[in-house]
């Protein structure tokens, strides 16, 4: 494996680990100090983020450059950013599906467990059902949302990536611009 490949893997492992530590600590603090409504809101946010990033990762691997080349020629906002994503689809998918998707999945599981622990008032057989139900709901919503999202990503990849490109354009972000120049 090339030296650049090792750097890439190290970078992904480091980003994932740091993100996991930061978000686990933050969620633990939130769930421990705020009410259940806010705790469930945080849980829902992590599930939604995981689904959205999974959709973007699938869309970028399913898309072709042709429609975005045409949009870039017409100077449509977000087309250049979408092209950068497509040209770096392997890395984009790694970030969106693996780093963000997996980290949010782990954090949502941890958050669900923390919420379940708060809801349990003593260890009884009836209370043992609470974590199982919360886990089942979070798993079902996450897996179901990602299944719907994958179908959407394959069928609407141009619209999804154009929207993502517009969002990046508004924020003046050009992810993977250095990598695209290096490939030339």
pLDDT per residue as tens, the chain (184 positions)? 566 677 878 888 898 899 889 988 888 888 888 888 999 999 999 999 999 999 999 999 999 999 999 999 999 999 999 999 999 999 999 999 989 988 999 999 989 988 888 888 666 666 778 888 888 999 999 999 999 999 999 999 999 999 999 999 999 888 776 655 555 5
- State how far the Cα of 89 lies from the Cα of 67, in Å rounded to an integer: 16
Give the pLDDT of residue 142. 92
Orientation angle between helical segments 36-62 and 157-170, nearest 10 degrees: 110
**What DSSP state is assigned to residue 78?**
T
**Structure tokens given for 96:** 């969106």
In the chain, where the domains are located? 15-176
Give the pLDDT of residue 119. 82
Half-sphere exposure of 142 (CA within 13 A, CB side): 23
Give the pLDDT of residue 179. 59
Give the pLDDT of residue 165. 94
Residues whose CB is less than 8 angstroms from the CB of residue 126 and which lie 6 or more positions away in sequence, other chains included: none
- State how far the Cα of 54 lies from the Cα of 19, in Å rounded to an integer: 17
Give the pLDDT of residue 166. 95
- State how far the Cα of 106 lies from the Cα of 108, in Å rounded to an integer: 5
Give the pLDDT of residue 184. 54
- State how far the Cα of 154 lies from the Cα of 141, in Å rounded to an integer: 20
**What DSSP state is assigned to residue 171?**
T
Give the pLDDT of residue 158. 96
């Amino acid at each position: 494996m090339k030296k650049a490949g090792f750097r890439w893997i190290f970078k992904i492992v480091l980003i994932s680990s740091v993100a996991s530590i930061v978000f686990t600590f933050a969620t633990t603090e939130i769930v421990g100090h705020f009410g259940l409504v806010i705790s469930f809101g945080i849980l829902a946010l992590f599930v939604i983020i995981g689904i959205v990033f999974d959709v973007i990762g699938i869309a970028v691997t399913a898309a072709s450059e042709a429609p975005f080349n045409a949009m870039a020629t017409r100077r449509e906002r977000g087309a250049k950013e979408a092209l950068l994503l497509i040209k770096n689809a392997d890395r984009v998918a790694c970030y969106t599906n693996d780093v963000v998707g997996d980290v949010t999945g782990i954090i949502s599981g941890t958050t669900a467990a923390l919420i379940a622990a708060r809801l349990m008032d003593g260890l009884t057989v009836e209370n043992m059902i609470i974590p199982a139900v919360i886990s089942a709901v979070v798993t079902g919503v996450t897996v179901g949302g990602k299944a719907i999202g994958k179908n959407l990503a394959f069928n609407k990849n141009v619209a999804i990536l154009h929207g993502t490109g517009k969002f990046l354009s508004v924020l003046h972000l050009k992810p993977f611009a250095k990598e695209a120049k290096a490939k030339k």
